[in-house]
Each structure stands twice: as C-alpha cells, then as structure tokens.
C-alpha cells in the first residue's frame, strides 16, 4: 500500500486501497483467532507479528516479534476505518462479490467488535452492514433445496469466486464438502454433522434437512430438481451409499449431480451472519431484546410451522448468547465459523458419544493448549524476532 498516496482523491485508487486494507484486516482477524485465545480474556497475550508498509523493510532484515492481541485488533480496526473512508461516497462499484464493498467492511468490523466484547459497536456495525448491503437472507423455501454454491445468490455479501480452470482435481471446496459432487465424499470421506447437534434442531426448522435424517433418510435433497442417469438427488445419495448425517447443504457446480468440476464459489460472508451478530451483541446488553432478535430471524427465515412458532427459552444474556451460538452452529455449518466461535466463547470441543468413528472421538476442554495453532518452524527459523521460546505451548486431546 506504500505505492499509493493515502491522501489521493482518485476514486479508483481509493477503491483498490480499500480492497488491500480490508483484506489485510480480514487476514489479521483470522490469524488472531487461531494463534491466541480470545481478546476479552487475553488482550496482552502474544498473538502474531504485525507487518505493514511501515515496517516491512525492517522486518525483512531484523525480523519482528509477536504483537499482543490488543495490538493486532488495533491494527484491524485501523485498517477497516481507513478502508471505510476510502469507500464511503466512492462512485466506483465492485464488479462482483469477490471484491469488498462498504457493507462487507462494516461486517468485518462487526466481527472484530464482537470478539472484543464491544457489544454496542458490534450491534451498530452489524445493523449498518445489513442496511448498506443489497443482500437479503434466504427464505425458508429457498433454504429447502441445496445451494450455497454461487456468489450471485442474493444472500451472499462476499465470497471467493472459483472459475472452471481453477477447479481441477478434488482439492476444492466442493470436492471436500459436497455430497453431490465427484469428490472425496463420493470416495467415502463424507462430511457429517454431529448427531447431538442434529438431534437438537427442531423438525420445523428447514435447516434440519441440510443433513440426511438417520431415521427417515429425508433431507432437502428430496426437493432437489437435479437428476443423474434418471435418479433423483435422494435416489442418487442412496445409490452412492451416502451415510446418515451426511451434509446436503451444498449443491454441486451448476447443480449437476456427480459433477466432476468443483468450481463452486466459497462463501466468506453471508447476510444471515449479520443478523446473528446483531442478536448476540444485543443480547449481551439486553437479554430480552437479543432473544427477540433471534426469534425474529428464525421465525422469518428458517421456520416452517406457522401454527407453532420458534421461541428462545433463555432469559439471561449468557443463555441467550448460547442459543445464538447454537443458531450459528446450524446456520454457518461447514463455512468455517464453529471452531473460532468456540475459542471466542471459551467452549471446549467434545466429540465423544456421537455418530463419529470412535477412533476419532476426543474431548478438548476450553482453553486447552492444543486448540491453538503452532508457529510454523519456517517462521521461527526465518524470522530473527521469534525464537523457539515464543512458540505456543503444545498440547494433546483427551480421548
């Protein structure tokens, strides 16, 4: 970013400067989630090095040590604030959703403020993101068939657009997550929901159909229009011996069953997340209002029983937040949020007594060292500012 004058009035340059700043903010936010525990309990704990245009040359020669969590978040917020200034009132519009717009920036800041426990700011930013975006949530009817494969969908705010030439082989999002594609699932590596999570989803919630029901074999694939060699989507899943609890949330590229091309787009931000951030942030300052917001979201967009409405039974802020965490587990399943949500909320990971292979069962308590990523050895060897003493402590899962 040092090649662009930060005071420039050129709208195009300011647009691209916002892309760089927004991407850097997102990257540091992701790094902060994985290399140190949450901001609220550990603001002065070592996080990751901060390298910007201001210190890149020095860092390349002398190295740079780990900044604190507080310092990393300060950099994140500063980058987002500058990026918002670059886009606010800027006439240059993004060509597609691989680019960051101002609504995405408010969404990124809502995430950061939620992690910092700045709940009023998180609520305000989430509402601003909803107001500024053209995206709108999927209806229950729209969520009743597989999807989440195309950035043009009206509920996407930001995503990675995958072109066909970039989707060779099985190492794609669709290759790993898709039950309908020719990928790892087809070869036996199915992506399954934890049975305990599945059992908690009410039958009136359309999202219960995002996985194969172990009793009825029903799922949203029953309503899916694609066919393969005369087989419906459900018949196809039976033919390839898809197991109970297998995910059917993600449609294949171009909605073609047993699709060998994995050029499905990858969601980075959907507007539904903003509704859940707003509900959680509000719950932490006013449990009743937070409860009302999560009820409104589920009943408006995910509930199928008009006679019996969804009701959040929690009454305290922490209990409402736990219910919203549950809603995030369902809504954002497979999109990369639950792990970092667990670290953010000091929740362990218990995979015992569920539907998984018992050889894979484990129980990791909250704040266990094994939850944090280790600093790569190449970083320790190549960065004079970091030594082995700076390494995150190692740990093992309790089986």
Per-residue pLDDT in tens (0 to 9) along the chain, 399 residues: 567 777 899 999 999 999 999 999 999 999 999 999 999 999 999 999 999 999 999 999 999 999 999 999 999 999 999 999 999 999 999 999 999 999 999 999 999 999 999 999 999 999 999 999 999 999 999 999 999 999 999 999 999 999 999 997 788 999 999 999 999 998 889 999 999 999 999 999 999 999 999 999 999 999 999 899 999 999 999 999 999 999 999 999 999 999 999 999 999 999 999 999 999 999 999 999 999 999 999 999 999 999 999 999 999 999 999 999 999 999 999 999 999 999 999 999 998 877 767 777 888 999 999 999 999 999 999 999 999 999 999 876 555
Say how far apart CA 225 and CA 233 lie, in whole Å: 7
**Residue 96 structure tokens:** 């597609």
DSSP state of 359: G
Residue 230 DSSP code: T
Residue 162 phi, psi (nearest 5)? -105, 120
pLDDT at 397: 58
pLDDT of residue 3: 73
- The residue among 108, 104, 28, 105 whose CA lies nearest residue 70 is 28
- Quote the DSSP letter at residue 262: -
Q: Is 303 helix (H, G, I), strand (E, B) or coil?
A: strand
> 364 with 349: CB under 8 angstroms?
yes
Phi and psi angles of residue 116, each rounded to the nearest 5 degrees, phi first: -85, -5
CB-count exposure of residue 236 (10 Å: 0-12, 13-18, 19+): buried
CA–CA–CA angle 186, 188, 191 (5° rounding): 85
- Looking at residue 2, what is its pLDDT? 65
pTM: 0.96
**Cβ(161)–Cβ(265) under 8 Å?**
yes
Q: What is the pLDDT of residue 398?
A: 58
Q: State the Cα–Cα distance between residues 147 and 71, nearest whole angstrom.
A: 39
Compute how many other C-beta atoms are within 10 angstroms of the C-beta atom of residue 44.
9
- State the Cα–Cα distance between residues 391 and 381, nearest whole angstrom: 12
- Tokens for 67? 């900044």
Sign of the C-alpha dihedral computed for residues 267, 269, 273 and 275 taken in this order: negative
Q: Which residues contact 326 (CB under 8 A, 6 or more apart)?
A: 200
Q: Hey, how many other C-beta atoms are within 10 angstroms of the C-beta on 104?
A: 26
Cα torsion 94, 95, 99, 105: sign: positive
Among residues 210, 153, 178, 150, which one has the least CA distance to residue 331?
210
Per-residue model confidence (pLDDT) at position 76: 98
The helix/strand/coil state of 299 is helix
**Distance between CA atoms of residues 174 and 265, nearest Å:** 9
Ranges assigned E (strand) in the chain: 156-160, 227-228, 231-232, 266-270, 349-350, 363-364
Please enumerate in sequence order all residues whose Cβ is within 8 A of that of 118, keeping only pairs 6 or more positions apart, or say none: none
On whether the CB atoms of residues 21 and 80 are closer than 8 A, the answer is yes
């Amino acid at each position: 970013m040092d090649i662009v004058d930060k005071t420039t009035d050129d709208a195009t340059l300011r647009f691209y400067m916002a892309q760089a700043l927004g991407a850097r903010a997102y990257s540091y936010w992701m790094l902060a989630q994985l290399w140190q525990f949450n901001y609220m309990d550990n603001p002065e704990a070592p996080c990751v090095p901060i390298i910007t245009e201001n210190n890149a040359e020095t860092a390349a020669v002398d190295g740079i040590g780990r900044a604190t969590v507080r310092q990393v978040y300060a950099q994140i917020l500063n980058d987002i604030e500058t990026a918002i200034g670059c886009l606010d009132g800027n006439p240059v519009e993004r060509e597609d959703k691989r680019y960051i717009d101002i609504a995405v920036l408010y969404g990124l800041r809502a995430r950061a403020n939620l992690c910092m426990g700045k709940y009023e700011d998180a609520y305000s930013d989430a509402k601003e993101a909803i107001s500024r975006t053209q995206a709108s949530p999927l209806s229950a009817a729209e969520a009743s068939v597989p999807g989440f494969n195309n950035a043009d969908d009206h509920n996407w705010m930001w995503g990675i657009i995958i072109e066909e030439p970039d989707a060779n082989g099985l190492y794609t999002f669709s290759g790993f997550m898709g039950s309908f594609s020719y990928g790892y699932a087809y070869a036996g590596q199915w992506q399954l929901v934890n049975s305990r999570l599945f059992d908690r989803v009410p039958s009136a919630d359309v999202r219960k159909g995002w996985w194969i029901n172990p009793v009825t074999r029903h799922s949203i694939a029953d309503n899916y229009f694609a066919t393969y060699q005369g087989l419906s989507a459900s018949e196809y899943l039976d033919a390839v011996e898809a197991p109970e609890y297998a995910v059917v949330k993600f449609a294949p590229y171009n909605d073609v069953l047993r699709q060998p091309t994995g050029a499905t787009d990858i969601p980075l931000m959907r507007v539904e997340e903003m509704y859940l951030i707003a509900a959680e942030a509000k719950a932490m300052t006013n449990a009743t209002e937070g409860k009302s917001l999560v009820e409104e979201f589920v009943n408006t967009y995910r509930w199928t029983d008009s006679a019996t409405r969804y009701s959040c039974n929690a009454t305290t802020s922490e209990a409402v937040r736990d219910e919203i965490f549950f809603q995030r587990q369902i809504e954002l399943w497979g999109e990369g949020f639950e792990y970092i949500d667990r670290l953010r909320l000091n929740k362990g990971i218990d995979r015992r007594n569920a539907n998984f292979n018992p050889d894979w069962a484990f129980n990791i308590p909250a704040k266990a060292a094994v939850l944090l990523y280790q600093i790569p050895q190449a970083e320790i060897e190549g960065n004079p500012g970091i030594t082995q003493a700076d390494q995150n402590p190692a740990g093992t899962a309790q089986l």
